[in-house]
Amino acid sequence: MKYVKCPRCGLNYILPDQQLCRVCLDELAGKKSIFDEDFDDLICPYCNKNKIDADEIMCAQCRAKRYKNGGDM
């Protein structure tokens, strides 16, 4: 399979039937560029298993556990 260079950034290679590379597509979709930090897959630091949002410190499971253990943070 032959690759061509992305016409927008000229950095990444894409398949001939693609218009733009992932990075450019993401950028056009309003996402942050990969050159910034990647906020896509934040993992809960407590269980290292579940995904969390950028504004969360722990996943729902860990939060529930913490409440059950009677901890008030």
Nearest residue (CB) to Zn ion, 15 versus 47: 47
- By CB under 5 A, the residues from 17 to 56 that bind Zn ion are 21, 24, 44, 46-47, 50
Burial 1-21 (b: 16+ CB within 10 A, else e): eeeeebebeeeeebeeeeebb
Residue 70 C-beta: closest distance to Zn ion, Å: 18
Strand partners, 14: 4
Residue 61 C-beta: closest distance to Zn ion, Å: 5
Residue 11 C-beta: closest distance to Zn ion, Å: 6
What whole-number distance in Å separates Cα of residue 22 and Cα of residue 28?
10
Window of 13-21, 28-36, 65-73 that interacts with Zn ion by CB under 5 A: 13-21
Q: Are residues 19 and 8 in contact, defined by beta-carbon separation less than 8 angstroms?
A: no
